Structure 1
Amino acid sequence: MCAKRLLLISLVFLVLGCLSEYLLGVPFSYIIPLILVGCLVCSVPFKSQVLFGWLLALFWMSWGMAALAPHLDKNLAGQGIAAFDGKQVVVEGILQGRPLMKAEGQRFELQVEQVYSNGTTFAVDGVLLVTIAKGQGPWLSGDRIRCPAKVHLPRLLGLPGEFDYRRYLALRGVQATAWVHEADSIVLMRGAAVTSWHRWIDALALRSQEFIRKNVPDPDQRGIVLALATGGQQEVSPAITTAYSRAGVSHILSVSGFHVGVVVAVWVLCLRWLMLRWEWLALRIDVRRTALLSALPLMLLYLVFTGGAPATARSVLMLSAVVLAIWSEREIDSLDALQLAAFCLLVADPGVLFDLSFQLSFLALWGLLVLTPLLVAPFDRFIVRGWQRTLLLLCAASIATVLSTMAPVLDSFHQVSFSGILANLVIVPLLGYGATVLATAALPLQFWLPSVAAFLLKVSGWLVLVSNGFIFWISRLPVLHSFNVGPVDLLATVVLLGLLSFIRSGRSKAVAVSLLVIGLMLVHLWPDAAPDGNMRIAFLGVGQGDATLIKLADGRTLLVDGGGYLLDSNKDFGERYLVPALHRLKVKQIDLMVLTHPHPDHLGGLPAVAEQFRVREFWQGESVGSNDNYQRLIGALNNQHTTLRIVKKGDRVQFGKELVLSVVAPQAVAGGEGGDNDDSLVLHLQQSSFSTLLMGDAGFPVEDMLLRDGVGEITLLKVGHHGSRYASSEQFLARVKPRVAVISVGAGNTFGLPTEETINRIKQQGTELYRTDQQGTIQVETNGIGFTVAPLKTEPALLATVRHFVCNILF
């Protein structure tokens, strides 16, 4: 069996093993791989390639599962750190890696050894991702520090399609996050006991970053120069990041194979030129091979200096294989080098498979190697040469990169830009061959020729300025938006590239690719199920906020509130959470959007929804908002000519024969800007004998008014004000007698909601209680007579069944 096939089998089944463990989460040890090693040794005398191949495949699959299992078991469990969730403690530990600079603070990973809480010292083994809100310190890898921090275990909100941040951290070896208000509160206990080369390079990188900050004063230019020269993107402003992303050239901001290749190529050419100028040396050594070999330590230094990102590591491994092949005068196969790089990285760290930068870098390079020749082939008969050939290759490479990375980009960012095909023609020369080379060359010169280094950095900043102007212009072009791309499309991309890479027969390749494309089209074009006559009410798990999605029996959709962040975080809650959840729930348009009141935990997600979905009608009370988010919402609704209505008590709308939505509160608004929770709209939804009361943030005064109005019994109560003690009084609950109550509330919130007294009042009525902080999204389904209530399942039923079978039967 040839070495190429062995490498391919090993890589494919190593990936399958990692995926199986990630999806199923079964307990797995190294015993099975060890047994399979023995079987492999025993199979050698039989000289059976088929037997050896299957045993090798099973070995690497079991190795992938065994290697990934400890990451998930240990880090998701949280070790001892879980006991301090939500507490303000003092932590002491060793700094892991280089701190990342942020706009106002820092972020680093801390290997915690001790925790001080309430006068007691606890020995803890775990890693914290520490964020400093304000200030920066001179800490380096290996330093022991002590700091006051608030520990937090990341939790899922319980929304469909939600990003699992806790599992993402677990794969990086992080058990929890911690928040430090100021860098001044951190005490350096002692420096690293041993000054390692890694620590020395980290110090060099931090010094270089300070040199760049000093000589590139403009923040927009400085952020990109720092990203190109040192690999840190933390100072690139959100506006610039968004513009480069919309222009389809965000890849240029992260150090990848392109940057490594450019730096190495410049180094080798310059060194070769210098060596050829020295006649004595040129006559005694092979200048070409020596210059190539010198690139190996340079690439390793560049990898560590820029932070060791997966894309950079992949490039260094590949280029190292190519350099060694050229040096030893052996044949080079780019696909083999790519497989070898992937295999080495996965063996070293199986969790890297689920890192987006790893996926994008490998798919991009794979696409370049496979798709670029196919795109160029039709033009070969025109015998294109010179600059025309270069332009053709650059355009083909851009198209190949966009096509090969489209699935993961749409899955993660929900948009992809084809304008990058044009933008690359300008940005690659400006930033890739220009600013990157100049800024990287300036870093070593800062020690011997600081004035020359400063000049090179200023020229780099000028190139960035020109680039930014072009990018802001081209980013106005339309981009492709889609929320319907998922793991199936990513799998199809990998299979497609595999078919193009490893099937030699042209006819077989055409048939296989055609079948794959047809199957993928059927998956996306298969019609949704017709309405079944039931109404579904989903109380979305949006944390400390409110959002209720109602799908009527005839297929129409109502959205009441949109959740949001209580404090301004410069993040779009709707874009990050609510919009993807609505797409996963197969929402096509919003027939009626209701804003109960303009508080940020009810308003925050609605602007993004209004920008992404067609909204036919919008309701709000007489209390209106005044902040930028509210203005953004109204602007988006006006742009699509949505009917805007100010509603009040007594307004109602009829949906079909038996379904009525009524506004039952408030009676009047004291102020004009909705500053009081009792200004919140209260909605009553009635379908036959099933009725729902959505209380918003209304409290006792509104409940007293409803009692005076003669409110009757209801089936379902959305508890007012997230379970506050000032809502859901005994008299109110005794009158409405809800059979089911739902509280929308965030886990571990600082308000202590829901309060115990409110929970007790609800339970005393014999009401069945559901909470979004404990059960995630709660879905109620009714035909107008009977109903069911259950947490909404956020994973495919087939996957849940397989996991149950494997964990409970096989293990």
Structure 2
Amino acid sequence: MKPLSQPVVPPLVPVLLAMMTGINAGSVSGLSHPVWTVIISGVAMVVCVLWVSEKKTIIFSLCLAAGIWSGYQSVLIHSPPVPAGHISNFYNQRDIVLTGQVKSFARQYPHKTRIIVDCRTIRGSQDTAVSKRLTATGRIYLNLYGTSDIPIRFNDQIRFAGPIRPIQNFGNPGAFDYLTFLKRQGIFGSVHTHVSKIQKITDSSLSVWTRGIQFLENIRNQFYAFVMTRLDHRDGAHVLAALVTGIKHNMPPVLRDQFARAGTAHLLAISGLHMGILSLIFFFFFYQVLSLFPGLLVSAQARKIAGVLTLIPLCLYLVFSGFSPSTQRAFIMIAIFMISFLMEKQTHPFNTLAVAGIIILFADPAALFSISFQLSFTAVFFIIAGMKVMEKYLKINPPKPLKFLISISSVTLLAGLGTFPLIAGYFNLVSLVQIPANLVLVPVIGFVCLPAGLISLMFWPLAPGLSAWLLTGAAWLVEWCSLYAAWLTDLPFAWSYLPSWSMVDILMAYLILGAVFWTLSGKKSKPVMAGVMVVLISIYGIRMMTRSGAPDHMTVTVIDVGQGNAALIQTIENKTILVDGGGFSGATQFDVGRYVVAPFLWQQGITALDVVILTHPDADHMNGLVFILENFQVGTLVKNRDTSPHSAFDRIMAACRKKKIPVFIPDCENNQMNWENTGLSFYQCRSVNSEWDVNDNSLVFKLTWDQFSMLFPGDIQAGREGLLAGDQNNRLSAGILLSPHHGSKSSSTRVFLEQVAPETVVISCGFNNPYRFPHPDVINRYEKNNIRIFRTDQHGAVTITSRGRDYAVIPYRSGN
């Protein structure tokens, strides 16, 4: 049989690229006028005529035009104009009552439960803008507190009260756009209420499909509780629960970080690798059973039937694991590859990958902007391309065990190489031990622990003792793998956080990788591509080197950390000083240091800090420093004499001991930190006054350079302000003041403001914070003194630049 020739460019790949172009165009322009679609489609045709071979130019042009048209229109269909009844029109209105349908499995946290609700109706009291019942559109996050005997499950109809809170971003340069991320999922707000205030609307006409999903959700929750209880919430329990049920949001951050640093975080998510292993297991099982029938075996129908049957448990598992977007995409990819295999036709693997991408983007255009979509498709693309290159150079036929090791190493290397620019751009993390880690963890966790967990799930209703025995053995293996990963990540240079990569950096990296693969593939243009690769690497190297020049000005950025304080000082001597780290108190699990402060530092190209200053051990100043001290190189920690019983303080001091970070406590004699031109002066650094609270014991210091000065007073209040103002030895005058205690009524007294005499004040406070900071009286005092006011809740991050004399204030947002 004559082999079929394969085109140089698989025909469906341009269509997929065209769809991506259309989706990007629709997302960026946000315009529904058909002229835009016509223009984009016309450009695509011209590009196609210049690119594709002469014989099929018209066909390819039509495919590209159709791809761009469908991609662009799909964005418009999935992102329609906001109607009058949309929930975004009713933010922060009290006495709002909504009804809606639950559209997600409940996500259980230690102190709350979160579900996604598709709103159907909205009604308010007589004095509100919506006194009559209206049809509502839009989805919200519904956060429920407390416990209830009545479970809320998928597709339940419920009634609950507002107000609806808008989704807010942290206003920092390079910050993750959480608002757009949720809008692409159709989520436009959140409601917080007690679970006892939720009313379920009975509906006796539930479909069989809905009842089946609710049954699987109930089984999932019960089995998760069984795993965590029987394994006593060990690390192995969290990993097994994530493998089998897909529930991983309660996994300890330390354990999650350990897998990420080893380059094995993909094992914790039900994604392509996970579903691929399951498909192999189910296919092998069904094929072995069907092989018992000679007729099916001889007619070669056993493989086809096994392939079809494999999709059934995969579909059930897709629903059971929570129907997450990443799992849906993995299932579609597996199904497409399985259908291609069953058709027994020679096809280019890139075509199969393109078909999966086209189907996914038709169903959900916003998936293009999903990190998991980008990572999974990029990994598969590089694995396919890399394997073809390796086939050309590796002509050996090793024994099966060695072949298995070579396969895992090759797949890990190619996937890691292909996703490295994206991981550097999104997560700022690189692991150099991912190959030895995956060589052990993928076979053990993927082919032993995962099947053991699934078998324990099947035995659990009838034989819980046997199920617990299987889980215990699997947990022991998982914890052994975790110890191995911990050993690898403790090696020098095993992993590192990187400065943020811009989109240009990522594109440059992929151009270089593309040139390398093209050169190794042995195409006719090999010398040309080798030259292109050298030029790209040279440009990229020059670009990286020009980033690290000496600064010509000082920069102070008051970071938007919500209700808290954090500021970054970058001196003319290229020293970096972080003042406080923000942080939330109470039951919240949100880590400001990990998700706000650290990304801002990476965006500034900072992975090491010369000085970290903790003004006082309050949660809204201290908690964010835990991640910073544990994951950044820090030269010195500066703090006052206070201690704290909170675990965050213990972790900060433990990090200093482990990493041998010196701790400097300013006192009356030693109260200066000076560099060539820049100085920090600390005021009234005597022993702790027991009559003051932790706020008044804050470190107070002034930053000076030439004629520039800025005062950082921490959270001091009227008592400490009076002492500072009454001490004639203190030279408090400063051009810029960081507002004491977030602008509270008990601070920024008249006598203090007279001594400081600032021209500008920056208030660090959270949007709609429960303390109602800043207080109107404080704002009035600032205005009476003709002080310019900047607020992080309105302006986002506030950046001050100076060359030693005058200064400029640059807010991230324009404010209200």
| TM-score class, shorter | 0.7 to 0.9
Where does residue 806 of structure 1 map in the other structure?
Answer: none
Contact 2:617–2:694 (Cα < 8 Å) also in 1: no
Structure 2 counterparts to residues 397-796 of structure 1, below 5 A: 397-441=411-455, 450-451=462-463, 455=466, 458-478=469-489, 479-486=494-501, 487-492=503-508, 494-495=510-511, 505=523, 507=526, 508-532=528-552, 534-567=553-586, 569-587=588-606, 589-648=608-667, 652-653=671-672, 655=674, 659-665=678-684, 669-671=688-690, 675-710=693-728, 713-792=733-812
Could you list the runs of 5+ residues in structure 2 that have no partner in the other structure? 1-5
Distance in 1, matches of 2:251 and 2:638, equals 39
Greater Cα shift, 33-42 or 552-561: 33-42
Shift of the 286–683 alpha-carbon distance from structure 1 to 2, 3 Å rule, reads closer
1:273 paired with 2:288, answer yes
Deviation of the 1:753 alpha carbon: 0.4
Distance in 1, matches of 2:684 and 2:86, equals 49
Where does residue 210 of structure 1 map in the other structure?
Answer: 222
Q: Which amino acid aligns with 2:199?
A: V
Deviation of the 1:244 alpha carbon: 2.6
- Secondary structure of the residue that 1:538 maps to in structure 2? strand
Contact 1:28–1:65 (Cα < 8 Å) also in 2: no
Distance in 1, matches of 2:604 and 2:758, equals 27
Distance in 1, matches of 2:659 and 2:242, equals 39
- Secondary structure of the residue that 1:679 maps to in structure 2? coil
Q: Which amino acid aligns with 1:389?
A: K
Shift of the 712–458 alpha-carbon distance from structure 1 to 2, 3 Å rule, reads closer
Distance in 2, matches of 1:295 and 1:269, equals 9
Contact 1:650–1:662 (Cα < 8 Å) also in 2: no
Contact 2:117–2:139 (Cα < 8 Å) also in 1: yes
Contact 2:560–2:796 (Cα < 8 Å) also in 1: yes
Deviation of the 1:617 alpha carbon: 3.5
Where does residue 177 of structure 1 map in the other structure?
Answer: 190
Shift of the 180–4 alpha-carbon distance from structure 1 to 2, 3 Å rule, reads farther
Where does residue 166 of structure 2 map in the other structure?
Answer: 153
Structure 2 counterparts to residues 258-269 of structure 1, below 5 A: 258-269=273-284
Deviation of the 1:145 alpha carbon: 0.9
Identity of aligned residues (%): 23
Where does residue 3 of structure 2 map in the other structure?
Answer: none
Shift of the 559–299 alpha-carbon distance from structure 1 to 2, 3 Å rule, reads closer
Q: After superposition, what is the alpha-carbon deviation per residue over 1:665-701, rounded to whole angstroms, capped at 9, x for unaligned?
A: 46663229x7332211222233344332222211222
Shift of the 147–223 alpha-carbon distance from structure 1 to 2, 3 Å rule, reads farther
Q: After superposition, what is the alpha-carbon deviation per residue over 1:223-266, rounded to whole angstroms, capped at 9, x for unaligned?
A: 43443333333454444333332332222222223333333333
Deviation of the 1:173 alpha carbon: 0.9
Deviation of the 1:152 alpha carbon: 2.8
Deviation of the 1:551 alpha carbon: 2.2
Greater Cα shift, 400-409 or 34-43: 34-43
Deviation of the 1:648 alpha carbon: 3.9
Contact 2:460–2:467 (Cα < 8 Å) also in 1: no
Structure 2 counterparts to residues 349-388 of structure 1, below 5 A: 349-374=364-389, 379-381=394-396, 383-388=397-402
Q: After superposition, what is the alpha-carbon deviation per residue over 1:505-541, rounded to whole angstroms, capped at 9, x for unaligned?
A: 0615544544444444333333423221x32222221
Deviation of the 1:436 alpha carbon: 2.7
Structure 2 counterparts to residues 8-407 of structure 1, below 5 A: 8-22=13-27, 24=28, 26-29=30-33, 32-33=36-37, 50=57, 53=60, 56-57=63-64, 60-61=67-68, 63-68=70-75, 79-81=86-88, 83-85=90-92, 90-102=97-109, 105-115=112-122, 117=124, 120=131, 123=134, 124-135=136-147, 138-148=151-161, 151-181=164-194, 183-191=195-203, 193-211=205-223, 213-214=225-226, 217-218=230-231, 219-220=233-234, 221-279=236-294, 286-374=301-389, 379-381=394-396, 383-407=397-421
Distance in 2, matches of 1:250 and 1:366, equals 19
Shift of the 669–117 alpha-carbon distance from structure 1 to 2, 3 Å rule, reads farther
Deviation of the 1:612 alpha carbon: 3.7
- Secondary structure of the residue that 1:505 maps to in structure 2? coil
Contact 1:665–1:680 (Cα < 8 Å) also in 2: no
Q: After superposition, what is the alpha-carbon deviation per residue over 1:542-571, rounded to whole angstroms, capped at 9, x for unaligned?
A: 211112222222322333222222335344
Greater Cα shift, 10-19 or 131-140: 131-140
- Secondary structure of the residue that 2:487 maps to in structure 1? coil
Contact 1:677–1:697 (Cα < 8 Å) also in 2: yes
- Secondary structure of the residue that 1:9 maps to in structure 2? helix
Distance in 1, matches of 2:36 and 2:547, equals 44
Contact 1:147–1:187 (Cα < 8 Å) also in 2: yes
Q: After superposition, what is the alpha-carbon deviation per residue over 1:605-626, rounded to whole angstroms, capped at 9, x for unaligned?
A: 2233333444333332333334
Greater Cα shift, 85-94 or 393-402: 85-94
Distance in 1, matches of 2:636 and 2:244, equals 50
Greater Cα shift, 98-107 or 772-781: 98-107
Shift of the 247–580 alpha-carbon distance from structure 1 to 2, 3 Å rule, reads same
Deviation of the 1:209 alpha carbon: 4.2
Shift of the 377–421 alpha-carbon distance from structure 1 to 2, 3 Å rule, reads farther
Q: After superposition, what is the alpha-carbon deviation per residue over 1:88-131, rounded to whole angstroms, capped at 9, x for unaligned?
A: 85432111133334456532210123345557565332211123
Deviation of the 1:40 alpha carbon: 10
Shift of the 702–73 alpha-carbon distance from structure 1 to 2, 3 Å rule, reads farther
Deviation of the 1:759 alpha carbon: 0.6
Shift of the 758–355 alpha-carbon distance from structure 1 to 2, 3 Å rule, reads same
- Secondary structure of the residue that 2:561 maps to in structure 1? coil
Deviation of the 1:188 alpha carbon: 1.2
Shift of the 273–377 alpha-carbon distance from structure 1 to 2, 3 Å rule, reads same
- Secondary structure of the residue that 1:728 maps to in structure 2? coil
Contact 1:698–1:720 (Cα < 8 Å) also in 2: yes
- Secondary structure of the residue that 2:104 maps to in structure 1? strand
- Secondary structure of the residue that 2:480 maps to in structure 1? helix
Contact 2:499–2:605 (Cα < 8 Å) also in 1: no
Shift of the 509–441 alpha-carbon distance from structure 1 to 2, 3 Å rule, reads farther
Greater Cα shift, 98-107 or 353-362: 98-107
Shift of the 36–241 alpha-carbon distance from structure 1 to 2, 3 Å rule, reads closer
Q: Which amino acid aligns with 1:584?
A: Q
Distance in 2, matches of 1:200 and 1:31, equals 46
Contact 1:145–1:188 (Cα < 8 Å) also in 2: yes
- Secondary structure of the residue that 1:146 maps to in structure 2? strand
Deviation of the 1:307 alpha carbon: 3.1
Distance in 2, matches of 1:281 and 1:612, equals 58
- Secondary structure of the residue that 2:395 maps to in structure 1? helix
Shift of the 444–704 alpha-carbon distance from structure 1 to 2, 3 Å rule, reads closer
Where does residue 799 of structure 1 map in the other structure?
Answer: none
Q: After superposition, what is the alpha-carbon deviation per residue over 1:693-738, rounded to whole angstroms, capped at 9, x for unaligned?
A: 2222112223322332355653212211111111122343345432
Q: After superposition, what is the alpha-carbon deviation per residue over 1:58-80, rounded to whole angstroms, capped at 9, x for unaligned?
A: 55445434433576676899943
Deviation of the 1:415 alpha carbon: 2.6
Could you list the runs of 5+ residues in structure 1 that have no partner in the other structure? 795-811
Deviation of the 1:751 alpha carbon: 0.2
Distance in 2, matches of 1:760 and 1:128, equals 37
Distance in 2, matches of 1:262 and 1:95, equals 31
Aligned length: 784
Deviation of the 1:151 alpha carbon: 3.6
